[in-house]
Each structure stands twice: as structure tokens, then as C-alpha cells.
Structure 1
Amino acid sequence: MAINIKFSLVLLIVVGTSMAMFSIPQAKANGEVKETKISAYFHDYFSVQYTPNATDVVVVGFPGMNWNYTKFGTLLVLDDLVTEGPEPTSATVGRLQGMYVPTSFDGAYVSMYFSLVFNNKAYNGSTLQIQGTVDQFASVMEFSVTSGTGKFRFTNGYFTMETISFYQPTFYSLLRFNVTVKHY
């Protein structure tokens, strides 16, 4: 009986150690984790239906309901320009692409799933995957950075965004984001 318990304990330790070795990302040769902070702006042009200038569009919602960014269950997609400065003519960083849906009955909370797709010189071809459920009318919204590609493999961190300005006649919003990630 004692031999079976010892063998089981040894087997558990060997299997557990093997699983830990294969599930923990290995550091680069220098063994250091890098921290990267990025601040930039994105330009959002909302439209209920697709127009040539729209970068944030309603895809579908519940039949018989008014579809927009405050109506529970409305699915929206976005493909916003990301720039270094607040002007749309500022140097391009990449695109913010993804989808979101109001998930609270009052339309205040939205679940967002998007990628920050870089095309600038520093991070070209890399992405950050961002997700979370937030109060879309809060002064600052915070999301999780769940993964990345390219220079941001094995990343995690957080992403905050805040509305800088909103122009009602054209539904143009200028938003600033700050992202902090740790990666190898």
C-alpha cells in the first residue's frame, strides 16, 4: 500500500512539473520581461448604416428595435484609424478593428472585442488583442490586453481609453488610449 502511495506521489510531482514547464512561456535568453507603454488617438465615425466615411457601423440588432450603440443586443463593428497625435493627419500607428455589443438592458455597458493592428515602423505587423465589458459613458474605460502577436507575443496588460471630443452633427469621436503591456 505504501509503495502505491509513494509511486502515485512521484507520478503526480513528475506530471505536475512537466505541465508547468510546458505551460509557462519561456523568457528570451536575457530572461527579462519588457514593459511597453503606448499612447495614441483613434478617430471614430459612427453611422447606423454604412456610409463611405463610417468607421463604426451597426451590423444587426433585434427586429423591430431602433439599432444603435445604446440598444441592448445591437452588434456593431469598427475599423478606426489610430494616429500618434489628435489630428487625423498625424503619423499613422495602425487600426483599431473589432466589434462590440451593448450587453446591459439600459445600454450603458458594452462588451468589446478588438485588435490594435500596428502598421507603423516600430511595431509593423504586430497586434494586441483587447477585450472587456465597460460603462461606455464613463470618463475612462479600462480593458484587458489578453494576448498579442509579432513583437507582443506572450503579452498581457491593460488598455484605457477616454473620449477627448465628440461632434454630434457627424457623430465623430476623438478618443485617446493608453496601453501598458508586459512581454518578452
Structure 2
Amino acid sequence: MKRNMEITKIAMGVLVLLLSAVSARSEYYSKTVPRVQLKEKVTNLHFFLFDILSGKKPSAVEVARSNITIGDQSATPFGSVYAVDDPLREGPDPESKVIGNARGLYVSASQGADLCLAMYIDYGFTTGPFNGSSLSVFSRNPVTERRREVAIVGGRGKFRMARGFAKLKTHYLNVSNGDAIIEYNVTVFHY
């Protein structure tokens, strides 16, 4: 029995040494190569986002609400989280051409009368020269300010490694139901 215990201890020691040798040989990267100098581009985009909370087929729906805002009369009370699939259109008319969609989340992040959203939204383009590409926004959006700015923090496709900003202007806002049409003037730097 004592001999079996000694053999077991030796086997465990050998196993520990083998496992540590395996992990010491593994690598978390493949190869570092010199960066090719890419020419940075600047692209300006102009479109309208339709954020509709009302009707039979809203494009933004509340998926969570804080229990402390029960009875709040605001269309977007503090602590409310919304899932978004808003159409992006060429113009402010609801019949204008759809050029993409904004998909993501926003949360009502202000306890005061100044409606402010914290948003993570991916603006994907489905037509034109940027078809299949998108821009990512992760920013504060002070909705009660008629003109405001949000940060572009990334992108994919033709907007890979994007950074920039979007100037927003409220074109239409229904304060009772939260429906809004927002004009976007975007400046994006990308490769």
C-alpha cells in the first residue's frame, strides 16, 4: 500500500511536469509582421434614422424596465432598455429609399428631464457603395439637445478600423409616444 502511494505521487509529479511543459510551448500569437502603410480615407454620409416606438410594428421595443420607474409618464423612462432595428433612409419622408438599418440597444440613462440615451448600435448599409459594411456607435446621445454628436468607435467591411463622429439633428419627435426621425451627418475615418 505504501509502495502504491509512492508510485501514485511520482506519477502525479511527472504528469504535472508534462502539463507545464505543454503549456510553456503553446503560443497565443502566430507571427508579427510589419504594418503595410495604408492610405486613410475620409467618408461623409448623410441619412435619416426612423426610431418608431408606437404602432403595430415598432422598430424599437422596450425589453427591460427598472422597477423604480413604474408610473413614469415618459415614453422612455430612466432605466428602460430598448432593442432597436431602425430603418436608415435617404430622406426624412417615410417613403424614401431604405439604405440600411440600425440594430442594437439603447438605455434611457438620465434621471432628469433631459432625456439622454446610452447607445450601442451597429449602422449596417444594404445598398450602394457601402453595401455589407457597417459603422459602430457606442456613445451618449443627449436627445433633448436639438443638435448633438455621437462617437463612431469601429466598423466592418469598407469601414474596417473606423473612427469618427456623427452629428445628429432631430427632424421630428413625438414626445408622447417617443417616435423620432433623426438626421445623421457622419464623418468617418477608415482604411
TM range (shorter): 0.7 to 0.9
After superposition, the Cα gap between the structure-2 partners of 1:39 and 1:23, relative to the gap in structure 1 and judged at 3 Å, is farther
The Cα of 1:155 is off from its aligned counterpart by 1.0
Post-superposition CA distance 1:26-78 (Å, at most 9, x none): 433xxx2110000011112114xxx5321111111123624755422111121
Q: Provide the C-alpha distance between the structure 1 equivalents of 2:84 and 2:131, rounded to a whole number of angstroms.
A: 20
After superposition, the Cα gap between the structure-2 partners of 1:171 and 1:150, relative to the gap in structure 1 and judged at 3 Å, is same
After superposition, the Cα gap between the structure-2 partners of 1:23 and 1:61, relative to the gap in structure 1 and judged at 3 Å, is farther
- Is there any run of 5+ residues in structure 2 with no aligned partner, and where? 1-31
* % identity of equivalent residues: 27
Q: Provide the C-alpha distance between the structure 2 equivalents of 1:73 and 1:56, rounded to a whole number of angstroms.
A: 15
Tell me if the contact between 2:163 and 2:190 (Cα under 8 Å) persists in the aligned partners.
Answer: yes
Tell me if the contact between 1:71 and 1:106 (Cα under 8 Å) persists in the aligned partners.
Answer: no
Q: Partner amino acid for 1:151?
A: K
Q: CA RMSD in A?
A: 2.4
TM normalised by structure 2 equals: 0.73
Q: Provide the C-alpha distance between the structure 1 equivalents of 2:173 and 2:77, rounded to a whole number of angstroms.
A: 19
After superposition, the Cα gap between the structure-2 partners of 1:113 and 1:105, relative to the gap in structure 1 and judged at 3 Å, is same
Which structure is larger by alpha-carbon Rg, 1 or 2?
2
* Number of matched pairs: 157
- Is there any run of 5+ residues in structure 1 with no aligned partner, and where? 1-21
Q: Partner amino acid for 2:100?
A: G
Q: Partner amino acid for 1:106?
A: G
TM normalised by structure 1 equals: 0.75
Match of 1:27 among 37, 45, 49: 37
How is 1:85-124 mapped onto 2 (pairs within 5 angstroms)? 85-106=91-112, 108-124=115-131
The Cα of 1:166 is off from its aligned counterpart by 2.6
Q: Partner amino acid for 2:58?
A: A
After superposition, the Cα gap between the structure-2 partners of 1:101 and 1:171, relative to the gap in structure 1 and judged at 3 Å, is closer
- Quick check: 1:134 aligned with 2:141? yes
- Quick check: 1:151 aligned with 2:179? no
The Cα of 1:24 is off from its aligned counterpart by 9.5
Q: Provide the C-alpha distance between the structure 2 equivalents of 1:170 and 1:61, rounded to a whole number of angstroms.
A: 16
Q: Provide the C-alpha distance between the structure 2 equivalents of 1:147 and 1:162, rounded to a whole number of angstroms.
A: 22
The Cα of 1:182 is off from its aligned counterpart by 0.7
Q: Partner amino acid for 1:45?
A: I
